[in-house]
Amino acid sequence: MGEIKFMKGNEALAEAAIRSGLQGYFGYPITPQSEVVEYLAMQEPNHNYVLIQAESEVASVNMVYGAAAAGARVMTTTSSPGFSLMQEGVSYIACAELPCVFANIVRGGPGLGTIQASQGDYFQAVKGGGHGDYHLIVLAPNSVQEMVDHCRLAFELADKYRNPVMLLSDGSIGQMMEKVVLPEPIPYKPDKPWATTGKTPDRKRNIITSLYIQSEDMEKKNQTIQAKYQEITKNEIRYEKYRVDDAEIIISAFGLTSRICKKVVDLAREEGIKMGLFRPITVWPFPTDQFAEFAAQDRVKFFLSAEMNAGQMVEDIRLSVNGKKPVYFYGRQGGIVPTPEEILNAAKGHLK
């Protein structure tokens, strides 16, 4: 058993990154994410990583690009407006196929928005965000413990697929404190023969680029990364089921909302309503087949997606269910966290 601590989500994420062999962190403070930068700055003298508080998010993402190209285990964290600023670099990194970890501690938008928690960046996280055909692997932690577990997993997946991985968290998880079991620190020994670490006489130059000026080359690059995305989709879909075995209503949520929906399910069951929760843990790749399986079952009457946005993941559920069953939505925006009771009432409103 690892060390047990009482930590904020943001601090736990930072500590998990250190224990996962972090070599470089480049970031810029923004509420509700700033504790990550603060914690890493405080711990820097005791460890071997490089920490730079960049002049902006545009700078930090490009520092990540450079350090990842050199083979380092690197991360940046930010919150919504900051991640928007990073999109150019994120797209470049995805094309250059560089492993790194992003965490978006999402706050309410659009615009400068509010500093309260939101899930309004789902589309940006899973549909690209930057230009071109690319995907990040996107994990949606729902507890302080998962901020830790998903951080280590994110670094591993990033290396495995040479693909950027994102933690889609939110302000509540970043700010709240819970009991957390920290993993043993691991030394990081990168096995990255492609990294730009200086040419030696026994091999050709390593080139990291996202520029393929000939159409044929660019198409080939696209085909390579699309094949990789298929491989990721085949291997890495993760989800959690709660009381779904006899469920007639499938409620679905990611991140913090999935915790709230667990309570919704318990409240519904107390009233004799057969409800279950299906929670995507990877929101990209999305557990499409699992939703389709539920939709194919006679007893399932409808789906309800509960989100802290105006209806984003619900679109992926509708694509998965493909018209076989109704898919409803309930959401709050602007930094409001929905209560279990209001989600339950929304679900009951669709019961005939």
Partner 1 sequence: MLVEMIFSGFGGQGVLSMGKLLAYAAMKEGKEVSWMPSYGPEMRGGTANCIVNISDEPISSPVVTAYDVVVALNLPSLRKFEPRVKKGGILIWESSTIKQPPTRDDIKTYAVPAVDMASNDLKNVKVMNMLILGALVKAMAVVKTDSLLLALKETLPPRHHNLIPLNQQAIELGMAQVK
Of 105, 48, 53, nearest to 82 by C-alpha is 105
Considering only 15-23, 213-221, 255-263, 322-330, which stretch makes contact with partner 1 by CB under 8 A?
255-263
Of 57-96, which residues contact partner 1 (CB under 8 A)? none
Q: Which is nearer to partner 1, 262 or 325 (CB)?
A: 262
- Using CB under 8 A as the criterion, what x/- string covers residues 182-221 for binding partner 1? ----------------------------------------
Name which position in 42, 112, 177, 310 contacts partner 1 (CB under 8 A): 177
Decide: 138 and 236 in contact? Cβ < 8 Å. no
Residue 165's DSSP bridge partners are 101, 137
Of 86, 95, 62, nearest to 164 by C-alpha is 95
Name which position in 4, 211, 227, 310 contacts partner 1 (CB under 8 A): 4
Residue 284's DSSP bridge partners are 138
Helices (H), the chain: 9-19, 34-43, 57-69, 80-96, 122-126, 144-161, 171-175, 215-235, 256-270, 288-296, 313-321, 340-348
Burial zone of 205 (CB within 10 Å; 0-12 exposed, 13-18 middle, 19+ buried): exposed
Q: Which is nearer to partner 1, 256 or 275 (CB)?
A: 256
Considering only 65-73, 79-87, 96-104, 177-185, which stretch makes contact with partner 1 by CB under 8 A?
177-185
Of 131, 58, 144, 72, nearest to 101 by C-alpha is 72
Considering only 147-155, 186-194, 278-286, 337-345, which stretch makes contact with partner 1 by CB under 8 A?
337-345
Torsion angle defined by CA atoms of residues 193, 16, 90 and 237, in that order, rounded to the nearest 10 degrees: 90
Question: Quick one: which H or E segment has residue 189?
Answer: none
Name which position in 23, 33, 80, 116 contacts partner 1 (CB under 8 A): 116
Is 176 one of the binding residues for partner 1 (CB under 8 A)?
yes
Is 241 one of the binding residues for partner 1 (CB under 8 A)?
no
- From CA 24, how far away is CA 18, in angstroms rounded? 10
Considering only 54-62, 71-79, 122-130, 336-344, which stretch makes contact with partner 1 by CB under 8 A?
336-344
Is 337 one of the binding residues for partner 1 (CB under 8 A)?
yes
**Interface positions with partner 1 (CB under 8 A):** 4, 6, 31-32, 114-116, 171-172, 175-179, 256, 259-260, 262-263, 266, 337, 339-341
